[in-house]
Structures are given as C-alpha cells and as structure tokens.
Amino acid sequence: MRRLVNILAVLLVLFSFLFFDYHILRNAFSQPQAPSALTSWVRALPLHPQKRSIYVEWSAVAGASWYNLECSNYPFSTNSPTNVFVGITPANYTATSYIHNNLSDNNWYVYRVRAVDANGVYSNYSPAHGVAVKPAGLRWEEVY
C-alpha cells in the first residue's frame, strides 16, 4: 500500500510539473498577433506650422505589453531590398498612436508596427502603410 501511495505521489508531481510547465512554455513562446489597421494621415501641428508631422495609429493587440513602430523614408516597394526601416518609438512604448515630427516636405514615409509581449516575444510586422508629406506653403506668384 505504501508503495502505491508513493507511486501516486510521484505521478501527481509529474503530472502537475508537465501540465503547468506546458502552459508556461506555451505562453512564453506563443507569438502575439501583428497589429492591424495601421492608419496615418498628414497634419501640421499648430505650434510649429513650418514643421510637418504624421500621426500614425494602430489597433491594440491582446497580450501586447508594448509596441515597436518603425519608419522608412525610402521609395516603398514590398520586394525592395533597399527598404530600410528604423525604430522611431522609445523603448517599451505602450500607446497605440504616435506623432512623427520634423519631417521633410516632398518625402515619402512608410510605417510598420509590431507588438511585443511581456516575455519579449515579437509579433510579425503589420502591413506597411505609406504617407507622402506635401509642401507646407505652396504659393503662386504672378510673373509680369
């Protein structure tokens, strides 16, 4: 009888170890979903009318602890090897929107974002979204 109790105790410990470790490992290595609905539009901030800004926002992701927003200002092509993205949000950025300031007129900016969970696991990138910054003060002058 004592041997049966010992075997049951070992099986119980083994089962609980396997069950709980499975869930811990599954959660540690499961990748969060990529943020969707990346949208942006051009706007000039009233405080700096000579500077151009782009407001970028995306949908929240369940289980995401923070987001990593990246930008490229090269001509965009999904197959382009020259498309270089650079992170523009600070570390551990938790908001689902960002204002990218001090941009150049007549330039093209492409954004993508990915979620990061508490374990540091990154999601895939969202689809890229591009925006062109137009000249702030286009004026016509009459020539005589």
| pLDDT tens digits for range 84-140 | 888 999 999 999 988 888 777 777 788 889 999 998 888 888 888 877 776 655 444
Distance CA 135, CA 144 (A): 25
> Using 50, 70 and 90 to split pLDDT, how confident is the model at 47?
very low
71-96 burial by CB neighbour count: b if 16+ within 10 A, else e? bbbeeeeeeeeeeebeebbeeebeeb
CATH number for the 33-133 domain, one of 3.10.20.30, 3.40.50.1390, 3.40.190.10, 2.60.40.10?
Answer: 2.60.40.10
**Lowest-confidence range among 57-66, 72-81, 91-100, 128-137?**
72-81
Contact between residue 113 and residue 119 where contact means Cβ atoms under 8 Å apart: no
Listed by start position, the domains of the chain span 1-30, 33-133
Most confident by average pLDDT, 22-26, 43-47, 133-137 = 133-137
Beta strands in the chain (DSSP E): 39-43, 52-57, 66-72, 86-87, 97-103, 107-116, 129-133
